[in-house]
Amino acid sequence: MKYLTAMYISLSESLGIYTPDQLYELFTNKQHSMPISRHRAAIMQSRVFFFCAIFAVLVPTWSLIDLLFLPSPLWAELLVIRILSAIAFIFLAWQARKEPDLNRARWLLAGMLSITPLFYLVSDHWLQAYELSGTEQVIAELYALLPFVMIAGLTLFPLTLKELLFFATPMLAVVVLSSLPQVKSDIPQAVSTIWLFSLILGVAIFASLNQLRYMLSQVNRASYDVLTGLLTRRAGIEMLDLQFRLSLMSDSPLSILYLDLDHFKTVNDIYGHDAGDVVLRTAAQQLNDVVRKGDSVIRWGGEEFIVILPTAAPNEADDVINRIMHAGLGLRPDGAPVTASIGVAEVQADAVNDWKTMIELADHRMYTAKIQGRARSLGVNQAELLWPVAATSNKLAEKSVAQHEVAEES
Ligand SMILES: Nc1nc2c(ncn2[C@@H]2O[C@H](COP(=O)(O)OP(=O)(O)OP(=O)(O)O)[C@@H](O)[C@H]2O)c(=O)[nH]1
């Protein structure tokens, strides 16, 4: 029992698993965030492209060896399946250049992994029909290594345990099935082939999970702001880019809100940086609680946030602003409600061609809202919404600043 516990602890430490959530993240992608799925799809597709491009050249080139060492009709028969495999690899490489998408990446990987076992099954069938000896026999035996090469290839992809089992089971079945005829004549040979394959499979699963764990920690670190837990500006830009393209492709609206907290500097100046951090964290939490599941909240800069509202037309963006204003963004240490100046932009109503212009527009409107008195939003067609607590909040914040200035002078 002690031995098993020690094994479990060492396995979880080497995979960096310390919580049930981290274990679940390695098992399935259900809890993976959008940046992780996108990043994983991009990595998988770029690697599928790389290997398919290499195999598309190597597989037909190997015919030269077949030509030199294998008997006449056999090498020509093999050349046919080599050419068919090369065409399949070229097709997969071409598909892998498309927009990263997790489902696409999985099917491409499944395609890449199935070409070689299929090639092996067909070539094995033909090779059995010949009485090979010497170098011919050695060349023929190299074909039996193909499934091993492919299973080792799994180590190059950051996969979940569920995906690994999905990809590995058919390959294990191929090896077991092709070893069955040997069972009658040479049991030790058949058992050692299956045993060796299972060992390589075990190492491949471990290496692939390790890669996934490392990728999860790297992407999480780069994608989520440590203070607020919101998307970082970098991950937010990726999200904006994606949502903008989706909106153009589906001809659907897309709104963004650019929020800048009002008089935030005074919180830092009067109550200290830690108090400022608490205000930021609360405001971020409130924003996250108010938006829908498919919306995204980004910490754009110090006390600036961007909310992405896919499929939201200007009137729906106003609904979200009303919800934010009524739920509030928390309280300042002096008890005044935290408010923000908000600029809105929408793809169709503003007829923008790229997300950068949309951000500039929203930023400009937010700035105008600041000048016009803060605690308000300025939307498409200059539509204005006022924070219900605007007067109280501004007055209290200004009183705090005035008291602070008097205290500093005396
Ligand atoms: N506590 C804390 N403060 C931050 C952080 N990032 C930026 N800030 C502060 O945010 C403040 C930004 O203030 P300003 O944009 O100059 O102005 P403001 O007081 O918000 O006033 P208006 O925007 O004009 O309403 C600066 O004092 C920054 O130091 C952070 O992570 N934590």
Note whether residue 2 is domain-resident: no
Note whether residue 84 is domain-resident: yes
Q: What is the tens place of the pLDDT at every residue in 155-170?
A: 999 999 999 999 988 8
pLDDT of 346 above 80 = yes
Q: What is the tens place of the pLDDT at every residue in 353-362?
A: 999 999 999 9
Residues 253 and 212 in one domain: no
303 included as an active-site residue: yes
Catalytic residue among 131, 303, 316, 398: 303
In which domain, by residue range, is 246 found? 233-409
- Å from CA of 140 to ligand 1 middle: 71
Note whether residue 269 is domain-resident: yes
d(CA 195, CA 200): 9
Q: Say how many domains are in the chain.
A: 2
* CA-closest candidate to residue 109, choices 55, 167, 152, 169: 167
Residues 285 and 240 in one domain: yes
| DSSP per-residue codes, 292-311 | -TT-EEEEEETTEEEEEEET
* CA-closest candidate to residue 271, choices 328, 226, 336: 336
Q: What is the tens place of the pLDDT at every residue in 290-338?
A: 999 889 999 999 999 999 999 999 999 999 999 999 999 999 998 889 9
> CB within 6 Å of ligand 1 — which residues?
227, 260-266, 268, 273, 276-277, 280, 302-303, 370, 374
Of 303, 342, 394, best ligand 1 pocket probe by most atoms within 8 Å of the beta carbon = 303
* CA-closest candidate to residue 174, choices 116, 126, 128: 116
Is 288:296 a contact under the CB 8 Å cutoff?
no
pLDDT of 181 above 90 = no
Domain final residue, candidates 202, 223, 244: 223
Domain final residue, candidates 223, 256, 272: 223
The ipTM (two decimal places) reads 0.94
Domain final residue, candidates 171, 190, 223: 223
Q: What is the tens place of the pLDDT at every residue in 356-401?
A: 999 999 999 999 999 999 999 999 888 888 988 655 556 666 666 6
Q: Tokens in use for 380?
A: 């498409």
* Helix or strand run (H / E) with residue 174: helix 161-185
Question: Which pTM was predicted?
Answer: 0.74
Note whether residue 228 is domain-resident: no
Q: With the C-alpha atoms ordered 246, 249, 253, 259, is the resulting torsion angle positive or negative?
A: positive
Residues 208 and 303 in one domain: no
